[in-house]
Amino acid sequence: MIQTVRGVHDLLPGETTLWQFLESEALSIFRRYGFEEIRTPLFEKTELFARAVGATTDIVEKEMYTFADRGGDSLSLRPEGTASVVRAFVQQSMHRHLPWKVWYRGPMFRYERPQKGRQRQFHQIGCELFGPEGPLADAELMAMAMHYLTGIGLKDALVLEINSLGCLACRAPYRDRLIAALRTSAAQLCDDCQNRLERNPLRVLDCKRESCRATITRAPVMLDHLCPGCHTHFAILKDHLTGLGISHQVNPLMVRGLDYYNRTAFEITAVGLGAQNAVAAGGRYDGLVEQMGGTATPAIGFAMGLERLALLLDGENRHTLPMEVYLVTLGNAAEQAGLKLADTLRKAGLSVELNLGGGSLKSQMKRAGRSQARFAMLIGDTELANNVVVVKDMLQSQQQEIPIPETVNHMITLCRTSP
Ligand code: HAM
């Protein structure tokens, strides 16, 4: 038997119902903030991700699904959505339409070690906001993320962590300071961190290995070395969040695994997910549009992992949608009449499961019960002869006969008025 690739999953009916809910809430809530959906390709030129996400990041160095197409071009499945959105922004000259607010949903691909909440094909809902430079936009975006997460039913379990990663002006001297500090105890760092030390030293701060913790806690942090502009930006952001009643924690060690960030970085973690507890993450990337060849435009965004949201909302339960009507038919003539009746009821807007594959009255009624339909309708030879159907209320176990020509109106009224 051929199975799915490791770290890649089917979403079965029932699970998809929950996912549709997650997506429709995004559509509805983001719309209120002026965001519209964008759909970008699942694969792009490898160079896009190398330049946008950063050639020395784990994502680009170790995790991309990269292949040569038949023309010899190096392409990669997208490991995240921001690079493509920025490419689209530049390619379509969207700097003429600021502020440009877009959201996206869909699969992303990273060759990571699979575990709970971490897949190789996973799904994100993300938002990107181009144009505004001040902390008001940062606060509004975080408020929107929290609005969405609480709106889908995650209330108490969320923690919003924020940090500032400084700007080009203040990060370079800080980076030198950090490297100097880390070098003094380089021998205590793990192999990965020793490697990162020269190439991407901020990532050392993010290492979760116990052996690196002592060195990291002594290292200087960006927050203590912000320039006045970055300092003010961060201070105002905190005030805005407080003003909105959004509780938040400053985490000076949060650095993020993508290189494009500056100033504000944030993560929203949730209790109950284990090690992979970040449900949403993002930040500012004011230099990226220009770096990708566009007109300099500040921007900020975030993305949420749908698998993690689904795990939190519902570990095991399935949300198969109940049907409104289950149609039981007994005999060939009744089957044919049932097919027609189901067709008419569906075209009138009702959800109808027509019994397929025959069976006795008892077995068909059992299936009707399992389908969780609110009503069962029954047609046999006697009903056909009298031009009626039997309608059974499955909750109240009452039944009545309805003339076939009246069924549509009757069933619509019943379905609309029944709890
Ligand atoms: P990220 O932190 O790499 O950021 O991913 C955002 C979220 O996607 C994570 O917090 C997590 O919920 C989910 N996620 C990431 N990797 C996996 C995985 N292997 N399996 C399951 N879920 C995963 C970004 O991707 C940025 N593009 C976010 C952003 C948008 N920044 C600015 N704009």
Looking at residue 320, its pLDDT comes to 65
Which ligand 1 atom sits closest to the C-alpha of 59?
Answer: 3
Closest residue CA from atom 20 of ligand 1? 118
**Is the pLDDT at 81 greater than 70, yes or no?**
yes
What is the average pLDDT across 296-303?
98
State the chain's mean pLDDT as an integer: 94
Identify whether the C-beta of residue 329 lies closer than 8 Å to the C-beta of residue 379. yes
User: Does 105 sit in the ligand 1 pocket, CB within 6 Å?
Assistant: no
**Is the pLDDT at 75 greater than 90, yes or no?**
yes
Where residue 382 falls among pLDDT bands split at 50, 70, 90? very high
The percent of residues in the chain predicted with pLDDT above 70, rounded, is: 99
Helices (H), 188-269: 191-199, 210-218, 228-243
For 60, counting Cβ atoms within 10 Å of its Cβ (0-12 exposed, 13-18 middle, 19+ buried), the class is buried
Report residue 270: phi and psi, to 5°: -130, 140
**Is the pLDDT at 310 greater than 50, yes or no?**
yes
Question: Of 384, 388, 409, which Cα lies nearest the Cα of 400?
Answer: 388
Cα distance between the two ends of the chain? 45
pLDDT per position as a tens digit, 23-47: 999 999 999 999 999 999 999 999 9
Packing angle between helix 135-151 and helix 228-243, nearest 10 degrees?
Answer: 40
User: Does 259 sit in the ligand 1 pocket, CB within 6 Å?
Assistant: no
Identify whether the C-beta of residue 285 lies closer than 8 Å to the C-beta of residue 107. no
User: Does 307 sit in the ligand 1 pocket, CB within 6 Å?
Assistant: yes
Sign of CA dihedral 43, 47, 53, 57: positive
pLDDT per position as a tens digit, 119-144: 999 999 999 999 999 999 999 999 99
Looking at residue 211, its pLDDT comes to 85
174-183, 228-237, 286-295: which has the minimum mean pLDDT?
A: 174-183
Q: Which domains does the chain have, with CATH numbers?
A: 13-167+227-313 (3.30.930.10), 322-417 (3.40.50.800)
The percent of residues in the chain predicted with pLDDT above 90, rounded, is: 82
**Is the pLDDT at 198 greater than 90, yes or no?**
no
Distance from the alpha carbon of residue 303 to the mean position of ligand 1, in angstroms: 6
User: Does 264 sit in the ligand 1 pocket, CB within 6 Å?
Assistant: no
pLDDT per position as a tens digit, 249-293: 999 999 988 999 999 999 999 987 888 899 999 999 999 999 999
User: Does 79 sit in the ligand 1 pocket, CB within 6 Å?
Assistant: no
Looking at residue 298, its pLDDT comes to 98
**Is the pLDDT at 177 greater than 50, yes or no?**
yes
User: Does 54 sit in the ligand 1 pocket, CB within 6 Å?
Assistant: no
Looking at residue 160, its pLDDT comes to 97
User: Does 80 sit in the ligand 1 pocket, CB within 6 Å?
Assistant: yes
Identify whether the C-beta of residue 170 lies closer than 8 Å to the C-beta of residue 226. yes
Other C-beta atoms closer than 10 Å to the C-beta of 80 total: 19
What is the average pLDDT across 2-19?
93
- Helix/strand/coil for 391: strand
**Is the pLDDT at 315 greater than 60, yes or no?**
no
User: Does 384 sit in the ligand 1 pocket, CB within 6 Å?
Assistant: no
Tokens coding 383? 């009903």
Looking at residue 307, its pLDDT comes to 96
Other C-beta atoms closer than 10 Å to the C-beta of 207 total: 18
Looking at residue 314, its pLDDT comes to 74
Distance from the alpha carbon of residue 104 to the mean position of ligand 1, in angstroms: 13
The rounded radius of gyration (Å) of the Cα atoms in the chain is: 28
Looking at residue 186, its pLDDT comes to 86
Distance from the alpha carbon of residue 291 to the mean position of ligand 1, in angstroms: 21
Tokens coding 275? 């090690």
Identify whether the C-beta of residue 303 lies closer than 8 Å to the C-beta of residue 281. yes
**Is the pLDDT at 402 greater than 70, yes or no?**
yes
Other C-beta atoms closer than 10 Å to the C-beta of 93 total: 10
**Is the pLDDT at 316 greater than 50, yes or no?**
no
User: Does 284 sit in the ligand 1 pocket, CB within 6 Å?
Assistant: no
- Helix/strand/coil for 309: helix
**Is the pLDDT at 193 greater than 70, yes or no?**
yes
**Distance separating alpha carbons of residues 128 and 139, to the nearest angstrom:** 14
Closest residue CA from atom 1 of ligand 1? 281
